[in-house]
């Protein structure tokens, strides 16, 4: 959970909005948690992703194993195995409504 809290801190540091942690353990075959955040612009999304990638490595020695969507910047996915980070433009987040896909999962309070 330390790594997840760090990601939330790093997203917030770059003014990520509507940050949520969803516990999908036992629901998703690919990860245990999803961290979802919104960005104002594509540049903002890329800045948030870069901040997470660089500082997770620097501060905790944790590498992002896979990064997708960075060039486009509308929906960036960062794979840290035990958790995924989704950074969306607001309208893209509304369109895909990923929170609704996992509506049976538990949202984790950020201060837990």
Strands of 1-112 (E only): list them.
17-23, 33-39, 66-68, 75-79, 83-89, 106-108
The burial class, CB within 10 Å (0-12 / 13-18 / 19+), for 88 is: buried
CATH code: domain 2-108 is 3.30.460.10
Mean pLDDT of all residues in the chain?
94
Going from N- to C-terminal start, the domains of the chain cover 2-108
Reported as a pLDDT band with limits 50, 70 and 90, residue 103 is confident
pLDDT (average), residues 38-47: 98
Q: Does residue 1 have a pLDDT over 70?
A: yes
Predicted pLDDT of residue 110 = 74
Percent share of the chain, pLDDT over 90: 83
Percent share of the chain, pLDDT over 70: 98
Residue 36: count of CB within 10 angstroms of its CB: 21
pTM of the predicted protein model? 0.93
Dump pLDDT digits (tens) for 2-26.
Answer: 999 999 999 999 999 999 999 999 8
């Amino acid at each position: 959970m330390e790594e997840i809290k760090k990601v939330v801190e790093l997203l917030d540091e770059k003014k990520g909005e509507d940050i949520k942690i969803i516990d999908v353990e036992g629901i998703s075959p690919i990860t245990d948690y999803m961290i979802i955040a919104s960005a104002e612009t594509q540049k903002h999304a890329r800045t948030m992703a870069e901040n997470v990638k660089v500082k997770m490595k620097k501060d905790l020695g944790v590498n992002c194993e896979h990064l997708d969507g960075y060039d486009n910047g509308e929906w960036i996915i960062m794979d840290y195995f035990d958790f995924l980070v989704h950074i969306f433009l607001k309208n893209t987040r509304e369109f895909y409504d990923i929170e609704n896909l996992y509506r049976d999962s538990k949202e984790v309070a950020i201060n837990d």
